[in-house]
Amino acid sequence: MMSEWLDVGAVADVPLRGARAVPIAGGEEIAVFRTGAGRVYALVNRCPHKAGPLSQGIVHGDSVACPLHNWVISLASGEALGQDKGCTPTIPVEVRSGRILICRDAALKLAA
Protein backbone atom coordinates (compact mmCIF):
# COMPACT_ATOMS: atom_id res chain seq x y z
CA MET A 1 0.00 0.00 0.00
CA MET A 2 1.22 3.46 -0.79
CA SER A 3 1.13 6.04 1.96
CA GLU A 4 -1.66 8.58 1.95
CA TRP A 5 0.73 11.48 2.37
CA LEU A 6 3.50 12.81 0.20
CA ASP A 7 6.52 14.37 1.86
CA VAL A 8 7.31 17.49 -0.16
CA GLY A 9 10.05 18.98 1.99
CA ALA A 10 11.02 20.56 5.27
CA VAL A 11 8.98 23.36 6.83
CA ALA A 12 12.20 25.35 7.07
CA ASP A 13 12.51 25.31 3.27
CA VAL A 14 9.49 27.58 2.98
CA PRO A 15 10.26 31.14 4.09
CA LEU A 16 8.17 32.61 6.89
CA ARG A 17 5.42 34.72 5.31
CA GLY A 18 6.28 33.05 2.03
CA ALA A 19 5.43 30.15 -0.22
CA ARG A 20 6.97 27.55 -2.51
CA ALA A 21 5.43 25.79 -5.46
CA VAL A 22 5.14 22.05 -5.95
CA PRO A 23 4.44 21.22 -9.60
CA ILE A 24 2.55 18.03 -10.31
CA ALA A 25 3.95 16.50 -13.47
CA GLY A 26 1.41 16.75 -16.25
CA GLY A 27 -0.88 18.91 -14.15
CA GLU A 28 -1.23 21.97 -12.01
CA GLU A 29 0.98 23.35 -9.29
CA ILE A 30 0.36 23.28 -5.58
CA ALA A 31 1.39 26.30 -3.53
CA VAL A 32 2.65 25.54 -0.03
CA PHE A 33 2.45 28.55 2.30
CA ARG A 34 3.99 29.30 5.67
CA THR A 35 2.50 32.17 7.64
CA GLY A 36 4.27 34.56 9.99
CA ALA A 37 2.86 32.52 12.86
CA GLY A 38 4.39 29.38 11.37
CA ARG A 39 1.23 27.72 10.15
CA VAL A 40 1.47 25.72 6.91
CA TYR A 41 -1.23 25.66 4.22
CA ALA A 42 -1.53 24.28 0.72
CA LEU A 43 -3.72 25.53 -2.10
CA VAL A 44 -3.83 24.95 -5.81
CA ASN A 45 -1.44 27.61 -7.12
CA ARG A 46 -4.14 29.40 -9.09
CA CYS A 47 -6.07 32.53 -8.19
CA PRO A 48 -9.85 32.23 -8.66
CA HIS A 49 -9.78 35.58 -10.46
CA LYS A 50 -7.49 35.09 -13.46
CA ALA A 51 -5.31 32.19 -12.44
CA GLY A 52 -2.50 34.26 -10.90
CA PRO A 53 0.21 32.18 -9.19
CA LEU A 54 -0.74 32.66 -5.54
CA SER A 55 2.61 31.33 -4.35
CA GLN A 56 4.15 34.59 -5.53
CA GLY A 57 1.89 36.85 -3.49
CA ILE A 58 2.46 38.63 -0.18
CA VAL A 59 1.45 36.43 2.75
CA HIS A 60 -0.08 38.26 5.70
CA GLY A 61 -2.01 36.85 8.62
CA ASP A 62 -3.67 33.73 7.23
CA SER A 63 -4.17 35.07 3.74
CA VAL A 64 -2.26 35.85 0.59
CA ALA A 65 -2.56 38.83 -1.75
CA CYS A 66 -2.50 37.61 -5.35
CA PRO A 67 0.46 39.02 -7.28
CA LEU A 68 -1.59 39.87 -10.36
CA HIS A 69 -4.50 42.01 -9.16
CA ASN A 70 -4.24 41.92 -5.39
CA TRP A 71 -7.27 39.80 -4.59
CA VAL A 72 -6.87 38.53 -1.05
CA ILE A 73 -7.37 34.78 -0.67
CA SER A 74 -7.90 32.95 2.63
CA LEU A 75 -5.23 30.29 3.03
CA ALA A 76 -7.50 28.22 5.21
CA SER A 77 -10.55 28.07 2.95
CA GLY A 78 -9.25 29.19 -0.43
CA GLU A 79 -12.09 31.74 -0.55
CA ALA A 80 -11.56 35.22 -1.90
CA LEU A 81 -12.03 37.71 0.95
CA GLY A 82 -13.74 41.10 0.97
CA GLN A 83 -15.84 42.11 -2.03
CA ASP A 84 -14.35 39.52 -4.37
CA LYS A 85 -16.03 36.20 -5.03
CA GLY A 86 -14.30 32.98 -5.93
CA CYS A 87 -12.56 30.01 -4.41
CA THR A 88 -9.33 28.11 -4.94
CA PRO A 89 -9.26 24.42 -3.99
CA THR A 90 -7.37 23.67 -0.79
CA ILE A 91 -5.07 20.67 -0.46
CA PRO A 92 -4.98 18.80 2.85
CA VAL A 93 -1.59 19.33 4.41
CA GLU A 94 0.04 18.21 7.64
CA VAL A 95 3.28 18.91 9.40
CA ARG A 96 5.03 16.04 11.11
CA SER A 97 8.44 16.28 12.68
CA GLY A 98 9.24 19.36 10.68
CA ARG A 99 8.28 17.81 7.35
CA ILE A 100 5.44 18.99 5.13
CA LEU A 101 3.08 16.27 4.00
CA ILE A 102 0.42 16.84 1.38
CA CYS A 103 -2.52 14.60 0.69
CA ARG A 104 -1.57 12.13 -1.99
CA ASP A 105 -5.02 11.76 -3.51
CA ALA A 106 -5.66 15.47 -3.73
CA ALA A 107 -2.25 15.97 -5.36
CA LEU A 108 -2.71 13.19 -7.88
CA LYS A 109 -6.13 14.47 -8.87
CA LEU A 110 -4.42 17.60 -10.14
CA ALA A 111 -2.36 15.50 -12.52
CA ALA A 112 -5.43 14.06 -14.20
Partner 1 sequence: MTHHIQREHLVVIGNGMAGCRAVEEILARDPNRYRVTIFGAEPRVNYNRIMLSPLLAGEKSFDEIVINDAAWYADNGIELVSGDAVTAIDRAARTVTARSGKVVGYDRLLIATGSDPFIIPVPGASLPGVVSFRDLDDVDAMLRAAEGGGDAVVIGGGLLGLEAAHGLSLRGMKVTVLHIMPTLMERQLDEAAGWLLKTALEERGQAVLIGADTAEIMGDGKVEGVRLKDGREIPASLVVMAVGIRPNVALAREAGVAVNRGIVVDDNMVTSDPAILAVGECAEHRGMVYGLVAPIWEMCRALADALTTLPSGYAGSVTSTKLKVAGLDVFSAGDFSGGEACEDIVLRDASRGVYKRVVVKENRVVGAVLYGDTADGGWYFDLLKRGEDVAPIRDALIFGQAFASGGGQADPKAAVAALSDDAEICGCNGVSKGQVVSCIAKGARSLDAVRASCKASASCGSCTGLVENLLALTLGDDVQSGPKTMCSCTSFGHDDVRREIVAQDMRSIPEVMQKLHWGTPDGCSSCRPALNYYLLCALPGEYADDQQSRFVNERMHANIQKDGTYSVVPRMWGGITTPQELRAIADVVEKYDAPMVKVTGGQRLDIFGIRKEDLPAVWADLNAAGMVSGHAYGKALRTVKTCVGSEWCRFGTQDSTGLGVKLERGFWGSWMPHKFKMAVSGCPRNCAEATIKDFGVVCVDSGYELHVGGNGGIHVRVTDLLVKVATEAEAIHYAAAFVQLYREEARYLERTAPWIERVGLQHVKDRIVADEADRDELAARFWFSQQFMQDDPWAERAAGRQRDYLHRPLAEVRPLKQLEGAEA
Output b/e per residue, 21-48; b: 16+ Cβ within 10 A. Answer: ebebeeebbbbbbbbeeeebbbbbbbbb
| Among 3, 4, 24, 87, contact with partner 1 (rule: CB under 8 A) | 24
Min dist CB 42 to partner 1, Å, is 10
Question: Rounded CA gap, 60 and 53, in Å?
Answer: 16
Q: Give the interface with partner 1 as residue ranges (CB under 8 A).
A: 1-2, 6, 8-9, 12-18, 20-26, 29-30, 32, 35-39, 50-53, 56-62, 65, 67-68, 70, 72, 74, 76-77, 97, 100, 107-108, 111
